Structure 1
Amino acid sequence: MDYSHIIVGGGSAGSVLANRLSARGANRVLLLEAGQDTPPGQVPKEIADTYPGTAYFDPRFHWTDLKVRTQVVSHNNPEAAPPPLRKYEQARVLGGGSSINGQMANRGAPTDYDEWAARGAAGWHWDAVLPYFRKVERDLDIADEWHGQDGHITVTRIPRERWCEHSRAAAEAFRQAGFKYLPDQNGPFEDGYFPVTVSIDGKQRMSAALGYLSEQVRQRGNLTISTRTQATGLLFEGTRCVGVTALVDGQEREFRGREIILSSGAIHSPAMLLRNGIGPVGHLREMGIAVRAALPGVGQRLMDHPSIALSSFIRRPARLDDAQSRRHILLGLRYSSGIPEAPQGDMFVCVASKSAWHSVGQQIGSLLAFVNKTYSESGQVRLASTRWQDEPQVEFNLLSDRRDLDRLMAGFRMLAAIQLSGPLAAVTTDPFPAAYSDRVRAIGVVNERNRWLTRAVAALLDGPQALRSWLIERYVVEGFTFRQVMEDEEALEAFIRKATIGVWHASCSCRMGAEDDPMAVVDTEGRVRGIEGLRVVDASIFPVVPCANTNFPVLMTAEKIADAILAAPSPARVLSGADPA
């Protein structure tokens, strides 16, 4: 069977596209997803949970072999030891990141999208994208010109009366530090603290799969959803992409379509292009791949938001209780660093009143800071081999721009002052610089061993202060103490360089741009340069990563491009002379 559209990747973008394109009865749409299905009424409890800390660590929902380097890789000094590889929790499940992420419904700054337009993405300025942000959401709390009430993704905010004392103390510390309270994170963009907007319906996660691929949508006769289906390659006739090869239940299959849309994310979409001869000529020849389209921007300028954390022990009465909320991040802060080049709100802080699902995690709170407006854009995705089974080489090169390092250092000092201020000092003890290390990852896996181990450690941490401080310094702190980084500038820089990670906002590796931009991979409707019948629609086409968690910008992007696809006359209509619908 031939399809009008084959979508490779059932994440946030793929779910939107499958819904919107199949709404036109004349289209025949195939959605391919490597991971498992999450049908209505059968969503795994870990995914449905409004607390994401179990789904996020569950290998059933990951590309388990994917590892990345976050620190800067030196290609000019071959004798230098490369930075360590880190596991990267990229979603492999219907709904993609929206099925396992922190459910943060954050749009970013108007200046982000004006910059997109200035970088060559004509028609993607703020006034052009706001209607699509509104189209995505059904806001349960606010009805005004900034918000939508008819979208597929419900959003809400956890009211202050359901916050734990730790979150309330952080809010009071922000107020005393001079920050303004904002009732709406996604209203007029300004500095201040706010209840975070989240993509839940009050009871469970509202993933893109659940929101856009409802039972009613799944019953459409012109939509086929094939899960546990690994795309292995693309089919071409000359420079036209005409289909996809895939592994289905262990059997190789071919699917042909008028248009192929890659929605596999900022790591796997460029890897698919590279394996099929679309990318930088030098790298393709190095890998022995015939050049189908010379596009030097494929896999280049990968971005993420550099992030660090300051954690502390939460006293028992101030901890988050499930009866209050399963959400662990209730409060956020947006502030301006003041460096001359940066726009307003270039820094972001999340207050996590629980750091993990287990007993120790319930005792540890964190102030998570990330560079909202990062200038580090030298990451890259390259092939490790030509085999589709092998994960690509991924280098984020976080902190490659000194301005990001300086702002994280200043941000850590600011967080320390807030942590030591009266409101938080009253409900916490033993602050320490935190690292998302392999040890933290290992203890975060949900199993009985970790459950019993953390219960035992938690009982000790709730014991005498001296024992708790010794345990935290001996077994929790990794490499740097709070006193070290506060008293020694070199130690603070070393900690930041070592502990900075991204926040799983991989983007910009197949950027859209103007025709005369040699690094642009796609045009403003996601069409791949030099190739007919092939688009990319996901976070990889962002011209620059916005000041936001990337899920809602991805949903907006897919909505906008879906409209462009539906507005274009189909070949059948052109031949018949009919007007486009």
Structure 2
Amino acid sequence: MEAFDYVIVGGGSAGCVLAHRLSAVPSLRVALIEAGADTPPGKVPEAILDSYPMPVFCGNTYIWPSLKARATKQAAERVYEQGRVMGGGSSINVQSANRGLPRDYDDWAENGAHGWAWDDVLPYFRKLEHDVNFADNPLHGKHGPIAIRRIMPDEWPPFCHAFAKGLRSNGLAMLQDQNAEFGDGFFPAAFSNLNDRRVTTATAYLDTATLRRPNLSIFANLRVERIVMNGVTAKGVVAVAQNGEQVRFDAREVVLAAGALQSPAMLLRAGIGDSRDLKALGLRCLIDSPGVGRNLQDHPSLTFCHFLEPRFRMPLTRRRASMTAARFTSGVQGCDSSDLYLSSATRAAWHALGNRLGLFFLWCNRPYSRGRVQLVSPDAGVAPRVDLNLLDDERDTARLAAGIRMLAKVIEASGLGEDRRDFFPAAFSPRVKALSRVSRGNAIVTSVLGALLDSPAPVRRFLIGRFFTRGQNMASLLASDDALHAFIRENVFGVWHASGTCRMGLSSDRHAVVDTQGRVRGAHGLRVVDASLMPRLPSANTNIPTIMIAEKIADTMLREQPRGAASPDAVYLHTTIS
């Protein structure tokens, strides 16, 4: 048994930040526990460093293989990819460095998360980043750990220019910086990458100097099984090694940074949640907190592909495939502006087949639908039930329909092809995912399929219908609202931006699980710091907002230390915003 001031559960987008910032105070003993593999300097797997993310994302090595989710109430459970490796989601995601819009955070503050308005969070967005392109812009930082860059139009391949042409023809203006220009438009997408290598929170915050700190202990391949509670006070955690050995860590404070699916599950197993649900599972309720596991949000998403003529293909040796994206307004009555997001990639997969297909991701910003995380067993080895309920609110279906119609107009004006049948819906199905795993067998199969796509058009149509669309085509979908809505309900999926399940808010709000500093209401020595805290999902990928949350709360935690506890260097770290 070891004792620490802080035990951080989860070495992901938030946990690595907390470990770095808190251990900067030499008098604080900090432990970081990660269920997956470590990625110390010089030993980061090539698959993680690669600018092209899909091979690592579609594999099983760095995710929780038993964690599944239902996209809608009618859908079957499917694996829901969440990082299980040092760096968490930042080690397997598409590297998007999207902050969202000021209105997202102003909305948080207006609805009970006081101190989290845009002006409050901007200093921490600046603190985390080293913006390669816009370091002199007052909205950006230039000394932070996370490098952020864009591939500008003069380096775009022909596919991106065609996509931009289609967007411009449909009234969207060119923006240079999605993180500083906040209207509708298209732009070079920002991503966490430097010198064509992924930047994770592990590589950025757990550098060699940080790992040498004698007061920081890193534990990998160790799954936290339960929080040790003494009444309503957290006293530590019990973790299980891969050989089954149990290890106890005592702590002055336990910080859950395990993500929006695992953190609420840990609270529930500790007896913090809806008393009726806990009783049904035979769990003693220590704190009746009905909001735990509720308010789950993800961006409802769809994917589409376009067959690419050889002139639009990009060599496989050029790794970064996603460069251009757009925000636009659905026009659905009562919905926000800039409520749709559209990103593109010059290849749909790593192989010869994927290199012949351009890929488009469409999702709803600020979704109205809400889901839930629930325990199905008190056993920590049993994954929780995850119901995303992505289309629980009809406004989300209507907005996706508007987005599909807009995308079809963009493609028509893009010049990507003369035959409309070369643009088609492409579900991210288990079969497609299986074909996306890197293997010699898949390389052979996709090489043959890729060559067949270059066959005469009738052969290509057959292959697209057989392997991608199951007979559906864009013309029939666009001709009928009923057909379009049915397609959306059947194919919608979550884009792995789970959030909101331990949301912060006012003490008078029974469904606010934590206060605005992440402290679990009714408990002592227990805090949550990850995407669970978000009251409402930002108009953004969640990685950069989650890092911001960790930076902001780490700053608060350091200010709570007794006077004289922090060294001058540590004080500089948490009070100076670059």
TM-score interval (norm. to shorter): over 0.9
| Counterpart for residue 267 of structure 1 | 261
User: Is 2:302 the partner of 1:302?
Assistant: no
For residues 98-131 of structure 1, the C-alpha deviation after alignment (integer angstroms, 9 at most, x for no partner) is 0000000000010000110111110000000000
For residues 128-177 of structure 1, the C-alpha deviation after alignment (integer angstroms, 9 at most, x for no partner) is 00000000100111121111001000010012233221111001111111
TM-score (norm 1): 0.95
- The farther-off stretch of 30-39 and 459-468 is 459-468
**How far apart are the structure 2 equivalents of 1:58 and 1:5?**
33
Tell me which amino acid in the other structure corresponds to 1:169: A
Structure 1 residues 138-287: aligned runs within 5 Å: 138-142=130-134, 143-250=136-243, 251-287=245-281
For residues 448-498 of structure 1, the C-alpha deviation after alignment (integer angstroms, 9 at most, x for no partner) is 111110001111111222211121122221352222212222211111001
Check conservation: 1:313, 1:365, Cα contact below 8 A. Answer: yes
User: Is 2:478 the partner of 1:460?
Assistant: no
Within the candidate set 75, 89, 93, 1:83 is matched to 75
Tell me which amino acid in the other structure corresponds to 2:507: E
Aligned to 1:304, the other structure's residue is in SS state coil
Deviation of 1:97 (Å): 0.3
In the superposition, relative to structure 1, how do residues 98 and 428 fare at CA in structure 2: closer, same or farther (>3 Å)?
Answer: farther
Query: Which residues of structure 2 form unaligned runs of 5+?
Result: none
| Counterpart for residue 97 of structure 2 | 105
**How far apart are the structure 1 equivalents of 2:109 and 2:347?**
39
| Counterpart for residue 319 of structure 1 | 313
TM-score (norm 2): 0.95
Deviation of 1:367 (Å): 2.1
| Counterpart for residue 440 of structure 2 | 448
For residues 317-340 of structure 1, the C-alpha deviation after alignment (integer angstroms, 9 at most, x for no partner) is 1112245x4111110011112334
User: Is 2:81 the partner of 1:95?
Assistant: no
Aligned to 1:365, the other structure's residue is in SS state strand
**How far apart are the structure 2 equivalents of 1:221 and 1:419?**
56
Aligned to 1:12, the other structure's residue is in SS state coil
Paired residues, what number? 566
| Counterpart for residue 521 of structure 1 | 513
| Counterpart for residue 25 of structure 1 | 26
Check conservation: 1:315, 1:427, Cα contact below 8 A. Answer: no
| Counterpart for residue 46 of structure 1 | 47
In the superposition, relative to structure 1, how do residues 99 and 432 fare at CA in structure 2: closer, same or farther (>3 Å)?
Answer: same
In the superposition, relative to structure 1, how do residues 140 and 520 fare at CA in structure 2: closer, same or farther (>3 Å)?
Answer: same
Deviation of 1:409 (Å): 0.6
**How far apart are the structure 1 equivalents of 2:273 and 2:120?**
30
**How far apart are the structure 2 equivalents of 1:569 and 1:170?**
52
**How far apart are the structure 2 equivalents of 1:572 and 1:233?**
34
| Counterpart for residue 62 of structure 1 | 63
**How far apart are the structure 2 equivalents of 1:159 and 1:382?**
44
**How far apart are the structure 2 equivalents of 1:332 and 1:145?**
23
Deviation of 1:571 (Å): 10
**How far apart are the structure 2 equivalents of 1:31 and 1:482?**
49
Deviation of 1:428 (Å): 8.5
In the superposition, relative to structure 1, how do residues 15 and 92 fare at CA in structure 2: closer, same or farther (>3 Å)?
Answer: same
For residues 227-277 of structure 1, the C-alpha deviation after alignment (integer angstroms, 9 at most, x for no partner) is 001000011222110100001242101000100000000000000011110
Tell me which amino acid in the other structure corresponds to 1:399: L
Aligned to 2:161, the other structure's residue is in SS state helix
Deviation of 1:427 (Å): 9.9
C-alpha RMSD of matched pairs (Å)? 1.8
**How far apart are the structure 1 equivalents of 2:419 and 2:224?**
51
Once the two structures are aligned, what percentage of the paired residues are identical? 43
For residues 388-411 of structure 1, the C-alpha deviation after alignment (integer angstroms, 9 at most, x for no partner) is 000000000001111110010111
**How far apart are the structure 1 equivalents of 2:269 and 2:230?**
16
**How far apart are the structure 1 equivalents of 2:331 and 2:138?**
30
**How far apart are the structure 2 equivalents of 1:228 and 1:109?**
36
**How far apart are the structure 1 equivalents of 2:433 and 2:153?**
31
| Counterpart for residue 360 of structure 1 | 353
**How far apart are the structure 1 equivalents of 2:280 and 2:262?**
19
Within the candidate set 401, 405, 408, 1:413 is matched to 405
For residues 68-109 of structure 1, the C-alpha deviation after alignment (integer angstroms, 9 at most, x for no partner) is 1011x2xxxxxxxx5211111111000000000000000001
**How far apart are the structure 2 equivalents of 1:273 and 1:479?**
45
Aligned to 1:129, the other structure's residue is in SS state helix
**How far apart are the structure 2 equivalents of 1:554 and 1:477?**
35
